[in-house]
Every structure is written in structure tokens, then in C-alpha cells.
Structure 1
Amino acid sequence: MKIKKIELFAVNLPLIQPFIISYATYPNIQSIIVKMTTECGLVGWGESVPDEHITGETPHSAYAMLKNTLAPLMIGQNPMEFEKIHELMDQSVHRAPAAKAAIDMACFDVTGKKLNVPVYQLLGGRYHEKFPVTHVLSIEEPEKMANEAEEKVKEGYTSFKMKVGRDVMGDVKRIRAVRERVGEDIAIRVDVNQGWGNSANTLQALRHLEKLGIDWLEQPVAQDDIDAMVEIKSKSTVPLMIDEGIRDMNNMREIIAKRAADKVNIKLMKCGGIYPAVKLATMAEMAGIECQIGSMVESSIGSAAGFHVAFSKKIIKSVELTGPVKFSKDIGDLKDSYIIPHIQLNERPGLGVSIDETVLTELTQYSDSIE
């Protein structure tokens, strides 16, 4: 099986409401969709959702990287040779993980279809039957976040990821308001997205948070300040998760060596796709560090790819892939698998996502074809 053609689509995915985190507000999500066609007529789909603050790529730069470098490199290659595919990409360009992730996903999708198995069967088989769906609360005033949380509990949600990172004491008020509103039995995870900057600010916040029963605190400090994570972890009883600070195997080695986190948040856009994500999960398991598969708010394609990794690995204990339920219009049908408060994957071949190419055309800003 050889790759014959790769088509690129730059799309705007419309959000139901703006997504607000510590460093940015997103009115919609800019994504690059890859359609990979083989000589035997099979089609694989991939997705790239870059973030200049994390992956070092913009939507325009990732699109250009795919169009001018990575896609031409793939023509004539066998998409089933995952190790070789990644070696070719890595030898051609340093980093660019979100661009590489789109190629990686399309290769896994088309390989699963060729072998007539779901992608998770290519990764060791299905381990988990279902995962709880976590609702993500964007940064708002305490009362508004509490109101939204209360409404989502009525819909059946049992866990929340709270986005904070604007100011320490204001964030403490936000977290306290949600906890008081939803009660003690609902899981709350707090994601600072680097917003508290350093260990001193974080430890100040933790003096209040330790009484609120949060599941874990995620990436409170600057992404490259591993030593600050070490200090925080040594001085707090709240489990600490690293997100922006874990991008590749080099980061993982340092985190393991320094015992810098209790949990790691693996995202396909940060590490380069399904194949590198599995490697990171294996490294974490060897060190006894629990994993989560997180999201850059991808469509059904990128979200499904993350779920296949999560469902195949015992060490992955949670998922936060909520893009399909945040969009007012999506190009795929993964939303049907969200049966609140759980998600359960189907058993269709490849990524298991049906693509509506009419919607894809409607959302496309520009496109290219490489043969």
C-alpha cells in the first residue's frame, strides 16, 4: 500500500461559546484537515490543531509545513510503516509536532481500514471499555462558572476541569465557588495553563486549595520550569500534573529523573501524533506516573485519535477530549459516542469516524492537493 495523494483543508471550527484560558480566548478553532488517499483507493483522515504558545506553530505555518515539506515527502511511502514515516518527518524538519500529528493520524486511520480493525487494535488492543467525560469550564467570574457547573451536573456530568490562571486569589474564589455549588462528590481538576508563573504564587494558592478536595493541579508554572514543579510537588499534598512541560521524550526523561509530576497530560498535537504518544505513555508507565490524554480542542478526527490511544493503555487513567461537544458544527460524527457521563468508542475500522465532506467544504477557508 502506497500513498498516492494528500489533500489539505484549512478550516474554522465554530464553537458554541468562546473557549477562554489563561493566555488566550478562542472564538473558533483553526484546524488543518488531512485527507490521505492510497493507490488502492483507501482514504485516511488526520488533523492538525497547532498552538503557537505550546507547539511553536501557527495554523499558517503548520499548513505551509504540510503543503511544502511533509505531504510531498509522504507520496509513494507505505502508511503502515509508522516508525519509518516518523523518521522521515523528523529527518526533514525539527519539531513541528502538530503538523506531523496530522500525517501520523491519517496513516493510522488508513492502516486500520486496510486491516479492517479499529486503531486501538494496532496499539495493543482495547483495555478500557469507557471513560468518564469531563466538562471543561472556561475562565469566567466565580458565579458564572458555578452556574455552568451546576447546570452540567444536572445534565449528568460528574467531573470538571476548571480553567484558571488570571490571578491567584481570584482563581481561588472561582474554584471555591464551583466546589460549594456542586458539592463534595463531584470531581474537580484545576488547570492553570502556566498562569501562576512560579512556585511562590502556586504554593500561596495551594494553601487554600488543599481544603477543597481537588483531584489535581495542572501546569501552574511556566512550561520549561521543571524545577518549580519539583518544588511544588515536594511541598503540597495535591497531586500535580504537567501539561505544557511534556512535549517529547526528552521532557519525559527529565520529569522522570527529577520526579517532577504525579501525572502527565499527553496531547497528540504536542508530541507528533499517535505513535509518539504511545511511546510517552510507555515511558510514564515504567516510572509509575499516571497519564491523561488531553486536547487542543480538535474535531472528531483528532479527538478520535486521542481516544484510541487512551482506550488501549492501562496507564492512561483519564481523558479530556471534548472538542466534538464544544462545536456547533463538526466535520465528523464522534459526538454520537458521547453518552454523558461517559464516552464509549465504536468498533468501526481505523479511527471510526465518518466524515461529512459537505460540512468540510463549508468550513474550509482554503485547500491544496499534493500528488
Structure 2
Amino acid sequence: MIRRVRLYTVGVPMAAAFDHATRARHSAESLLVEVELNDVRGWGEGAPRGYVTGETLDGAAQAVRRCDPAALAERVDWRTFDSAVASIARLPLTELVDGPSAAAAVEIALLDAVCRHFGRPLTDVLRVLDPPDRVLREGPTSVSLVIHLGQDVASVLDALPPRAVAALRHVKIKVADPAGAVLRLTQARERLPEEASVSLDANGTWSAAEAERIADELASAAWVEEPLPPRSWTELARLRQATGLPIMLDESCTGPGDLRTAAASNAASHVNIRLSKCGGFLAAARLALRADALGLGCQLGVHVAEVGPLWAAGRALATAWGMWQTVEAGRADEWFPTPLTHPAFAVDRSLHRVERLAGPGTGIEPTGELLRHTRCLATWEPNGAWRRTT
């Protein structure tokens, strides 16, 4: 059924940098996998981030090349949409493809191709997980405003039209030093409606003593994301017990093992779910269901500068389920003025919401602008090994 698989790396300059406490990103770095069936092509993306999962772009590409598409294809029951999705859902992708970002690229490409072959949207794939009725939703989804470290909080919010401020439901603020975090939180709270929530993201740069010292001044924050170095389970649990500070895990939680440890140690109240760091569309959805069942709040996040398949798959999850405390959409329209996909990335900035994408699969196709910034590393065809592209 699989006629061809192509592996690409992507590097697209960003029109504006995005800064947080440990990194400044000036370009997109993604991995693309193209799966060609008899009649359609599906696209998947992974965003390797060393500071999140320890992966590199080259390492993730090598992980894809070490997998055997023929072995994957043999495990897929291609007869119907339901049988194909069920068999893909059973694949031990994290064992067959080493690394969550590489696995995400392969999985999303397979699902996109299957959906396009059967003329079904990616949201239909979620039925295989049998989610409880209470998490289902339809219609537009509210998204958060993210203010990065290089931006002044007061200036960003003061520049918004009154209608846009009134429509805000959540603002996420990148922070560095604890004193600056308190100031940035105060500036936001002074300008936002009471019903809008605010979170702070320290990207693992505080010590437990620093976090405890300012905890009282953070009482108006909905949660603090990754305040301590990743997987500081004992310190996180002590911080929560001593201060009652709501804590969201991001870099600390990339899969079920981390989630089990966090829940057992009472180290967190919330989890940030991102498709690439969690291993793909279904892997992220499963992790969200587990977190929800454990009583943890979930944010559906994005990696900075996702170029297409990742944000589109994330949007499918955002608009199909209503379990999210908040949803991040990204700012691809600002970072990449020339659209990388058709239809182009779009967010209603006046109401801070996104619509479900139409069409089969993820609902998007790469444009010539995106393909212009890709490098095809290797191609696989049946009855052969991966062939390096020159």
C-alpha cells in the first residue's frame, strides 16, 4: 500500500525571534516525512528540541532512516478506515522509531495519508481512543496569547484594541528571574479582565528556594509552568506542599512514565501536552486522557515555529476535545509572512480563537515556499532500503 516515503529536513528563517529564559529561536527547524500511498500523499512533522527531549534534527532524521517502512506497512490493515486507524494506534511507534519527534513525524504522516485515502478528517482518528463524552466539543476554540521574554508585557497588552483585550481568556508570559516574573504578572493583571487567567513559564530556570520565596506574590497566577529544572520531582512536591503553588509540567513530562511519576509524587497540578514531545497525535491524545483521569489540568501547547503538519494536527485535537485549560496556536502568520501551507495558518486575533480546518487529513498542504526551504535526505520504496538523496 505504501508506494514511497520521503524524509526531509526544514530550515525556514523567522521574521521575528522568539525568546524564553533558556533559548532564542530565529528559524524553524523541523523534520518532515511524506508518505505516498497509491492515490494520496500524507505529511507528518516533528520538531526536535534538545532542551525539551534531548533530540537533535540530525539525530531525529537518522532515527527515521533506521525504521523500516515495510515493517510498518505490514502491521497496518488497509481494508477500511477504522481497521487502518486501529492498527496504526496499536503500533509501538516509540520502539520502532527512536525518539518522540521522529515518531511524531512518521505517525502523523501515516494518519494523514490514511485519512486522505478514505476521505476523512483527522479528528475522526480520535474515535479509536473512545474518549468520554464529557471531553467532546465542536466549533471554534479559544487560544491563549503568549508573550515572550523579549516583549514588554505592558506594551503588548496596551497595544491591543479594547475588544481584543476583552476577548482574552488566557495569557501565558515567559519569565526569567523571579523578581521580573512578579513584575510581569502584575503588569498583566492590571490590564486584563478579571475572568482572564494568566500563567508564567520559567522554562526550568528557578531554584526551589527562589520559587518558594515569591510564591505569595504569584497568588494571582493560574499556574507556573516548569519552575524548577526538569524532573525535580521531590523539590516540586515540596514546593507545592509548602506554598500551594499550582505547577504545570512541560519539559518534565514527555510520556506516560513521567506522568505516572508526577502523579505518584504529587509534583504537579497541570501538564502541557505538545504533539512532538509526546510522540505524535495519538500519543499526545492518550497522554491528555490519562492526565485528565488523574485530575490534572491540561494545556495543549505548541513548539515554537512548527511549519505545518504539527500545528494542523494540534488544531484538530484542540477543536475536537474541550478538556483543555487553554490552547496555544502559535504565531506562524507573523513568523512566516509568506504562507508555508495551503490554506494558510490563521488565527482570529480579535477574538483569540481558531476554527477547525476543513478537508481530509490534517486539512493542509505544503506550499512552494515551504518546499523551497526543505532538503530531501532520503527516499524509501518497496523492495528496497532507504536511498540517500544527492
Distance 2:121 2:179 in 1: 46
Structure 1 residue 239 and structure 2 residue 239: aligned? no
Query: Structure 1 residues 70 and 342 mapped into 2: Cα distance closer, same or farther (>3 Å)?
Result: farther
Mapped partners of 1:160, 1:173: distance in 2: 15
- The secondary structure found in structure 2 opposite 1:217 is strand
Question: Could you list the per-position Cα deviations for residues 19-53 of structure 1 after superposition, in whole angstroms to 9, with x for gaps in the alignment?
Answer: 11111111112111211101x22111100111111
AA aligned to 1:114 is H
Is contact 1:187–1:215 with CA below 8 Å preserved after alignment?
yes
Aligned to 2:115: 112
User: TM-score, with normalisation over the residues of structure 2?
Assistant: 0.84
Deviations 1:117-140 (A, max 9, x none): 211122139624222122221113
CA deviation digits over 1:295-334, x for unaligned, max 9? 1121231011112223333433321131423422442146
Q: Are the equivalent residues in 2 in contact too, given 1:11–1:365 (CA < 8 A)?
A: yes
**Partner of residue 194, structure 1:** 204
Q: Is the 8 A contact 1:262 1:290 kept in 2?
A: yes
Change in Cα spacing, 1:21 to 1:251, as seen in structure 2 (3 Å) is same
1:17 is matched with: 16
Letter in 2 for 1:205: I
For 1:56 and 1:70, locate their aligned partners in 2 and report how far apart those are by CA, in whole Å: 23
More moved, 185-194 vs 171-180: 171-180
Going from structure 1 to structure 2, the CA distance change for 1:365 and 1:145 (only over 3 Å counts) comes to farther
Q: What does the per-residue CA deviation read over 1:163-213, in whole Å, with 9 as the maximum and x for residues that have no partner?
A: 112x211222233233334464543221111011x3221122222221xx2
The separation in 2 between residues aligned to 1:180 and 1:11, in whole angstroms, is: 41
Measured on the aligned residues, the alpha-carbon RMSD in Å equals: 2.5
**What is the 5 A alignment of 1:54-65?**
54-65=52-63
Cα shift at 1:162: 0.7
Question: Matches of 1:319 and 1:4 in 2, distance apart?
Answer: 36
2:355 aligns to what? Answer: 344
Task: Provide, for residues 230-268 of structure 1, a one-character-per-residue CA deviation record: whole Å limited to 9, x for no partner.
Answer: 222223344321111111111111222223222111111
CA pair 85-181 structure 1, distance change in 2 beyond 3 A: closer
TM-score, length of structure 1 as denominator length: 0.88
Residues 316 and 187 (structure 1), Cα distance of their counterparts in 2 relative to 1, 3 Å cut = closer
Instruction: Give distance in 1, aligned partners of 2:195 and 2:12.
Output: 34
| Distance in 2 between residues matched to 1:150 and 1:345, nearest whole Å | 29
Name the counterpart of 1:103: 106
Aligned to 2:52, what secondary structure does the other structure show? coil
2:225 is aligned, of 215, 218, 231, to 218
Structure 1: stretches of 5+ with no match in the other structure: none
Q: Which residue of 2 aligns with 1:6?
A: 5
Of 191, 205, 208, 2:214 maps to 205
Pair 1:271 & 2:278 matched: yes
- Rounded Cα–Cα distance in structure 1 between residues aligned with 2:195 and 2:137: 26
Q: Would the aligned equivalents of 1:300 and 1:323 in 2 still touch at CA under 8 Å?
A: no
Q: Is the alpha carbon distance of 1:92 and 1:33 closer, same or farther for their aligned partners in structure 2, counting shifts above 3 Å?
A: closer
Which stretch has the larger CA shift, 98-107 or 314-323?
314-323
Shift of 1:360: 2.4
| Corresponding residue number in structure 1 for 2:126 | 123
Q: How does 1:32-181 map to 2 (within 5 A)?
A: 32-38=31-37, 40-69=38-67, 74=72, 78=76, 80-81=84-85, 87-92=91-96, 94=98, 96-124=99-127, 127-140=137-150, 144-152=152-160, 156=164, 158=168, 159-165=170-176, 167-181=177-191
Aligned identity (percent) is: 24
Q: Paired residue for 2:388? A: none
Provide the secondary structure at the position in 1 that maps to 2:362.
Answer: coil
Distance 2:373 2:311 in 1: 18
